[in-house]
Amino acid sequence: MNISLQTEDKLNGVLTAVVEPADYQEGVKKSIKELKKTANIPGFRKGMVPEGLIRQKYGVSILAEEVNKVLQAKLYDYIKDNKVNMLGEPLPMADNDKVELKEGNTFTFKFEIAIAPEIPVELSKKDKLELYKVTVDDETVDKQVQMYRQRGGNYEKVDSYEDNDMLKGNIEELDEKGNVIEDGVKAEDVVMLPKYFKDEDQKKLFEKAKTNEVIKFNPSVAYNNSEAELSSFMKIDKEEVKNHTGEFQFAVNEITRYVPGPLNQDLFDQVFPGGEVTTAEQFKDKIKSQIEEQLNKDADYKFLVDLKKYLIEKAGDVKFPDEKLKKIMRANAKSDEEVEQYFDKNVEQLKWHLIKEQLVEMTKVKVDDQDVIEMAKEVTRMQFAQYGMISIPDQYLDDSVKEMLKKRETVDNLIDRCIEMKLSTAVKELVTVKEKKISQEEFNKLPFN
């Protein structure tokens, strides 16, 4: 097969492929023989259908399949061997539809391609970038400690109400004079949490409430006339709520408080198995180290985000084959409007992709299977950490990673994350890095796009 590239300019080109009989004949013969074994045609036993009949009935479709197969393979070999930096896929030209497929003939196909622009990327110590060093304060550590204690806590009955306690008791509707309405709304074993009242004045009525105390309040005001909440509270239908907007009395029968678990060895071992943590001070130090480690990874990612912005701005105005790119995007878009809406954003992503390719070549960054596995483990740990689970059994971790690696798209994303992580490390050696200390609160407010 003869393939050639004609460039209209630096950004647009046409690939011409001449497919000769020698390129496809062997494949056609093989396909016909395979089909002859399985073809089910009335009047002939399986495997006994004449080859001529097979050619007559299926010849054109077999020829088309084989020509397309060798054409695609050779096109991509040519692109790879000649290092054609192409954007997207080759676009078949209209004349290809006029090619008459007939065995023994030579066929000529043409494809439009969009060629990637050259973007010079240079980095030296003259380039200065900030790397944030996030500090972790005691309050953040204490909140994390409290979260672990909450997981090991339990509910206890208490005599006096404090914020966040749960109250259980009986309610009775009152008239304007504060007397119980005999045929008014009444309900037993009503549960409520005053902390979540919408009205602060109603909430204050329950401060320091005690068991066996009777408190007068207005549920409609407390719940800001929410039909759903009032219906559940009064144990009546939503339609009836509007008829009961006055005061009620609540007889407190029970106050329940959730008490965090103790800060003891059981908790230390639960969060950090292995007995390495034996005191509350060590527990807090370990938690602080873990938070700092994660924040440092986030800071590395922020460094890469800033590097991306810096290099895109440094590259300046880069010309792309816009019209051809739009044609390529239309093949996968729902509409022309979608292409136009996201075109500028997609071009910026393309620009970064081309810059990143050069950075990888410049820094000699490589990713192997073990890197991908370790990244998959890290992603899994982060997912579980969101739910307060720090220590994950090795077997469970390995099983989760195996499931992740079964999906091609997931693997591609993991590879990309590995590349970016290694690039972040490698680029720091090329440029001048200025560390900047910042609080976690300030860091969380920084833009990451």
What's the token pair of residue 31? 């396909």
Report which residue type is found at 59: G
Phi and psi, residue 179, nearest 5°: -95, 155
Tokens 């009777």 appear where? 214
Within 8 A by CB and 6+ apart from 54, the residues are 32, 35, 36, 39
- The counts of H helices and E strands in the chain are 14, 11
Task: Produce one character per residue of 133-149: b if its CB has 16 or more CB atoms within 10 Å, e if not.
Answer: ebebeeebbeebbeebb
Q: Rounded to whole angstroms, how far apart are CA atoms 392 and 390?
A: 6
Strand partners, 186: 172
Nearest to 254 by CA among 220, 284, 209: 209
Task: Produce one character per residue of 12-51: b if its CB has 16 or more CB atoms within 10 Å, e if not.
Answer: ebbbebebeeebbeebbeebbeebbeebeeeeeeeeebee
Q: What is the pLDDT, as a whole number, of residue 383?
A: 77
Tokens 């004349």 appear where? 95
Q: What is the pLDDT, as a whole number, of residue 379?
A: 86
Q: Rounded to whole angstroms, how far apart are CA atoms 433 and 217?
A: 61
Report the residue count for the chain. Answer: 449
Strand partners, 187: 171
Q: What is the pLDDT, as a whole number, of residue 389?
A: 62
Yes or no: say if 434 and 128 are a contact pair by the CB < 8 Å rule: yes
Q: Rounded to whole angstroms, how far apart are CA atoms 93 and 82?
A: 21
DSSP 8-state class, residue 184: S
Report which residue type is found at 54: I
What's the token pair of residue 139? 């309050």
Q: Which H/E stretch holds residue 72?
A: helix 51-81
Yes or no: say if 435 and 128 are a contact pair by the CB < 8 Å rule: no
Nearest to 89 by CA among 114, 109, 117: 114
Q: Rounded to whole angstroms, how far apart are CA atoms 400 and 374?
A: 12
Yes or no: say if 419 and 362 are a contact pair by the CB < 8 Å rule: no
Q: What is the pLDDT, as a whole number, of residue 51?
A: 79
Question: How do beta strands 128-135 and 432-439 pair?
Answer: parallel
Nearest to 380 by CA among 400, 366, 399, 361: 400
Query: Model's pTM, two decimal places?
Result: 0.68
pLDDT averages per 10-residue partition of the chain, 449 residues = 91 94 92 82 77 83 93 94 92 90 92 92 94 93 91 92 95 96 95 95 95 97 95 95 96 95 91 89 93 89 92 91 90 87 91 92 93 90 69 77 90 92 92 94 89
Yes or no: say if 431 and 123 are a contact pair by the CB < 8 Å rule: yes
Q: What is the pLDDT, as a whole number, of residue 256?
A: 96
Report which residue type is found at 139: E
Q: What is the pLDDT, as a whole number, of residue 390?
A: 59
Q: What is the pLDDT, as a whole number, of residue 388?
A: 59
Q: What is the pLDDT, as a whole number, of residue 56?
A: 82
What's the token pair of residue 346? 């997609």
Cβ-based burial of 101 (10 A; exposed 0-12, middle 13-18, buried ≥19): middle
Report which residue type is found at 428: K
Nearest to 131 by CA among 301, 275, 282: 301
Q: Which H/E stretch holds residue 244?
A: none
Q: Rounded to whole angstroms, how far apart are CA atoms 106 and 22?
A: 9
Q: Rounded to whole angstroms, how far apart are CA atoms 281 and 92?
A: 68
Q: Rounded to whole angstroms, how far apart are CA atoms 121 and 318?
A: 12
